[in-house]
Amino acid sequence: MRSGSALALGLLGLAVAAAPACRPAAETVDEEEARLRALLDLPAHIEAPAVPDYNPLTAEKIELGRYLFYDRQLSANGEQSCADCHLQELAFADGVKTPIGSTGDPLVRNSPSLVNVAWYTTLTWASDGLLELEDQLLVPLTADNPVELGLNDGVRPEVLARFDDDPDYAAMFADAFPESDSGATLNKVSYALSSFVRSLVSADSPYDRYTAGDKGALTDQQKQGMSLFNGESFECFHCHGGVNATNSYRDYNTTEEQIQYPFFNTGLYNVDDDGGYPLYDQGLYELTLDLDHRGFFRPPSLRNVGLSAPYMHDGSIETLREVVEHYAAGGRVIEEGDYAGDGRVSPLKSGLVRGFQATDEEIEAVVAFLESMTDPTFAENPAHADPFAY
């Protein structure tokens, strides 16, 4: 578990438009890093991701993972795929507050966008223990409370046999894992899906072109919004800094000492005026059982955020403008009901969420800047698309 270091809220102090600088200037790109860069077709301003040694990234695993991601055969009842909760045109989010699993079980957290997840230090909204995609993907695959895809011990052999019995899949598994002749296994499924998800790279938005040196890529309004975003009045950059617009960031050259594991309470709730969140989802507290961690969630990347509404961990804010207004207010006030409370005065709220004065023009400028992170080529890239649709 990473709860100690996860809550060290040291600030990166990076402007969003600044490229990462984890690699010493004199260090050259090694052979594996160069291979990753070529495989993922990364532009110069994007560092290669960190990939675990036990699951090296290959084109064959990426392609197998793409098929598995879109295949409803991967759920126990054949009713749902990963892609049903992660739609490419919505930056691999799903456009609803919270999703429903394959057996009808409701989930309590919003389906997160999968844009550039290979660069996160922790995965999911509020876990300080899921540090690699290979481990995180086992949760939607096998969880039983709530059920997502439902690959429990009782049905797993039957589900995996569907792929062994399919000659095309058998060939893809053999190509992806040439040193193994065991056919489809849960680990292989997880490794292939992880490889595909690592390939979901967004790096061609107006924001990216500006970062890469094209100073005409942003409008004057977007530049104003970027200045406000990175200023000490709005303070957005303290949680959403760096090229991936989140301080939960690592890359191929990031050292252990440089990694941060940030989680924040943003004043979204203040149940009973003690800082609490709804009992069905209290964030990091559910793992650490530290009462001070109630409402602690990881800051997501803001890349393609214009496509991934609704927002926050529970999908409870509809629009980007409302998100900016939430932070301008310094928290949310819920007047009545089970979750009534004034998030602005929550004793657990991050000191970075202090509220600020903002005109309509300034709020619209920040929204315009956030929308400049939309990468239309990502949402239409055939390499990420449903292979069964062709």
Domain CATH for 109: 1.10.760.10
Residue 371 lies in a domain: no
pLDDT of residue 45 exceeding 60: yes
Average pLDDT over residues 64-92: 98
* pLDDT tens digit sequence for 341-388: 999 999 999 999 999 999 999 999 999 999 999 999 999 999 999 999
Residue 28, pLDDT score = 67
pLDDT of residue 143 exceeding 60: yes
> Residues 309, 312, 318, 323: is their CA dihedral positive or negative?
negative
Q: Rounded to an integer, what distance in angstroms lies between the CA atom of residue 150 and that of residue 156?
A: 9
Per the structure, how many domains does the chain have?
1
pLDDT of residue 55 exceeding 70: yes
Phi, psi of 65, deg, nearest 5: -60, -35
pLDDT of residue 25 exceeding 80: no
Cα distances (angstroms) measured from residue 200 to each of 50, 73, 271, 375: 14, 22, 37, 12
Containing structural domain, residue 143: 31-201
Cα distances (angstroms) measured from residue 295 to each of 124, 234, 274, 277, 356: 14, 21, 11, 6, 21
Residue 115, pLDDT score = 97
Residue 383, pLDDT score = 97
Residue 89 lies in a domain: yes
**What single-letter amino acid sits at 322?**
E
CB 246 within 8 A of CB 120: yes
Residue 29, pLDDT score = 75
pLDDT of residue 93 exceeding 70: yes
The CA R_g of the chain, rounded to the nearest whole Å, is 21
Q: Rounded to an integer, what distance in angstroms lies between the CA atom of residue 263 and that of residue 125?
A: 9
Q: Rounded to an integer, what distance in angstroms lies between the CA atom of residue 334 and that of residue 345?
A: 12
Average pLDDT over residues 87-113: 97
Smallest Cα–Cα separation from 14: which of 193, 376, 199, 262?
Answer: 262
Residue 27, pLDDT score = 56
The mean of the pLDDT values for the chain is 93
User: Could you tell me what percent of the chain has a pLDDT over 90?
Assistant: 92
Average pLDDT over residues 4-19: 39
Residue 315 lies in a domain: no
Residue 193 lies in a domain: yes
